[in-house]
């Protein structure tokens, strides 16, 4: 071994060391920027040392990038200088020309692409270890980092002035995406979280019991008829009206009514006794979002609300239980809730009640019937027909073939529906055949 070969091997070894240092800086930059900020804060609360250091450094991204870039550029330029000396020593002037090309290709693979790919795939594993080396380097390069940041901040200030008010808080839509894409680890609770977020886009009109299905007591009926309605009801809260449904005069809790019904009582209770047990009705405007109504129920200490339109006419009623079922799913045990509105058939079609709610149909069958217009299947069909049919007919709306089976009382009572796969848009949407 000659004296001229010794510095060459030393310099080659230094190239390897510098390449490893460059890989460290490149991977650390990618890993730190790829960290999930919300998981990072969770780990900080759990006093994870690496996460705590990473969070502290990310609080000043200019200093973090400053120390990484100062170190990376210092290493890369040092490697370029050493490579040029090696090239000149081995190949003369030709080596000087070849050194940048060889060094660029080598560093691009081993000091840039490979470490950044690994860091992007496993940012926590890389970043939480790398920060222990960054802290002493930040102290070592502090004067250079401050100088670089001072000049760079002056240059970029005009371009970031408009974004000073931005924050990393998630919007409702972004949070919904997080729950949808990253909530698989919470199992069934993912669906519950998604429903909670959906309360903002769902109104009381979507879940209310329509007025024609409301169980109510007419105060002008005979006492025996009132008792019959109360005993047959599957609900504990019943509206009491006078003359017509738009004149609700109170809400009766059936548990209070028990005190009026005594087997040994000679005289039946009077209407005045019944009204004395009622409380004032609680009205809410149609279109109220469910998350707002849930808070209103809590604020007003109510469990049932009557939904009214802009003219004050009652459109239906909504209960606290209805909203809770939108979050956790069906949990009631009453008989009315067990009535099947959707019956699958052997030919792949479904017999569906005309008053079935479109949102319930979509949820049960995983369909995508539009819910921004009519709320029931009957309303959906009538909207497309623009008239009440005099006889049963068939129609196709988008991907859905619908056959009416029973029409009575100005309502399509039952329908047979099939979803068909289409490769092109239906140009004859809404086509009707008798």
Asked whether residue 311 falls in the same domain as residue 360, the answer is no
Phi, psi for residue 4 in degrees, rounded to 5: -75, -20
Half-sphere exposure for 154 (CA within 13 Å, toward CB): 5
Which residues pair with residue 99 across a beta bridge?
Answer: none
Asked whether residue 225 falls in the same domain as residue 208, the answer is yes
pLDDT digits (tens, 9 = 90+) for 322-360: 898 888 876 655 444 444 578 888 888 999 999 888 888
Asked whether the beta carbons of 346 and 214 are under 8 A apart, the reply is no
Nearest to 137 by CA among 63, 206, 71: 71
Lookup result for tokens 């019904």:
261
And the tokens for 375? Answer: 């709320």
Q: According to the model, what pLDDT value does residue 154 have?
A: 83
Is 259 inside a domain boundary? yes
Asked whether residue 288 falls in the same domain as residue 377, the answer is no
Query: Per-block average pLDDT, block size 10, for the chain (434 residues)?
Result: 56 89 92 88 90 90 88 90 84 82 89 92 92 89 86 78 57 71 63 80 88 90 88 90 93 85 63 90 93 94 94 93 83 49 88 88 87 88 90 91 91 92 49 48
What letters, b where the CB count within 10 A reaches 16 and e where it falls short, cover 170-181? eeeeeebeebee
Is 35 inside a domain boundary? yes
Structural domain harbouring 157: 5-163
Degrees, nearest 5: CA angle 361-362-366: 120
Asked whether the beta carbons of 308 and 315 are under 8 A apart, the reply is yes
Degrees, nearest 5: CA angle 418-421-425: 110
Please enumerate in sequence order all residues whose Cβ is within 8 A of that of 59, keeping only pairs 6 or more positions apart, or say none: none
What is the number of structural domains in the chain? Answer: 3
Is 32 inside a domain boundary? yes
Nearest to 294 by CA among 180, 188, 202: 202
Distance CA 365, CA 363 (A): 6
Nearest to 140 by CA among 84, 79, 67, 195: 67
pLDDT digits (tens, 9 = 90+) for 104-133: 898 999 999 999 999 999 999 999 999 999
Asked whether residue 145 falls in the same domain as residue 217, the answer is no
Domain end, chosen from 268, 302, 332, is at 332
Provide the H-helix boundaries in 141-171.
Answer: 142-160
CATH at residue 319: 3.10.580.10
Asked whether residue 136 falls in the same domain as residue 47, the answer is yes
């Amino acid at each position: 071994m000659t004296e001229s070969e010794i510095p060459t091997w030393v310099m080659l070894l230094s190239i390897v060391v510098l390449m490893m240092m460059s890989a460290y800086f490149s991977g650390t930059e990618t890993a730190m920027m790829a960290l999930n900020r919300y998981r990072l804060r969770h780990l900080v609360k759990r006093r994870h040392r690496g996460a705590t250091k990473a969070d502290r450094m990310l609080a000043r991204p200019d200093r973090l990038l400053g120390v990484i870039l100062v170190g990376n550029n210092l290493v890369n330029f040092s490697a370029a200088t050493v490579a040029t000396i090696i090239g000149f020593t081995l190949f003369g002037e030709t080596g000087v020309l070849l050194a940048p090309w060889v060094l660029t290709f080598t560093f691009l693979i081993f000091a840039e692409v490979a470490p950044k790919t690994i860091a992007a795939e496993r940012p926590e594993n890389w970043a939480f270890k790398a920060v222990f080396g960054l802290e002493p380097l930040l102290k070592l390069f502090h004067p250079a980092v401050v100088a670089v940041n001072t000049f760079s901040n002056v240059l970029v200030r005009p371009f970031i002035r408009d974004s000073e008010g931005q924050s990393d808080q998630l919007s409702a839509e972004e949070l919904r995406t997080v729950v949808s894409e990253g909530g698989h680890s919470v199992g069934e609770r993912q669906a519950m979280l998604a429903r909670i977020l959906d309360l903002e886009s769902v109104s009381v009109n979507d879940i209310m019991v329509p007025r024609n299905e409301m169980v109510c007591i007419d105060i002008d009926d005979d006492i025996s008829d009132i008792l019959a309605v109360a005993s047959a009801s599957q609900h504990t809260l019943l509206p009491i009206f006078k003359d017509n449904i738009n004149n609700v005069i109170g809400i009766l809790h059936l548990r209070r009514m028990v005190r009026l019904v005594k087997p040994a009582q000679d005289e039946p209770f009077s209407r005045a006794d019944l009204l004395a047990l009622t409380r004032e009705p609680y009205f809410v405007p149609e279109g109220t979002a469910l998350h707002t109504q849930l808070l209103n129920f809590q604020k007003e200490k109510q469990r049932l609300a009557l939904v009214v339109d802009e003219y004050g006419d009652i459109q239906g009623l909504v209960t606290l239980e209805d909203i809770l079922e939108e979050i956790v799913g069906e949990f009631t045990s009453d008989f009315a809730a067990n009535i099947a509105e959707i019956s699958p058939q052997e030919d792949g079609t479904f017999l569906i009640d005309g008053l079935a709610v479109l949102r319930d149909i979509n949820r049960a069958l995983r369909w995508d019937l539009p819910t921004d217009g009519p709320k029931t299947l009957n309303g959906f069909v009538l909207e497309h027909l623009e008239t009440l049919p005099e006889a049963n007919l068939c129609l196709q709306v988008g991907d859905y073939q619908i056959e009416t089976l029973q029409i009575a009382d100005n309502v399509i009572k039952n329908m047979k529906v099939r979803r068909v796969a289409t490769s092109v848009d239906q140009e004859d949407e809404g086509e009707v055949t008798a």
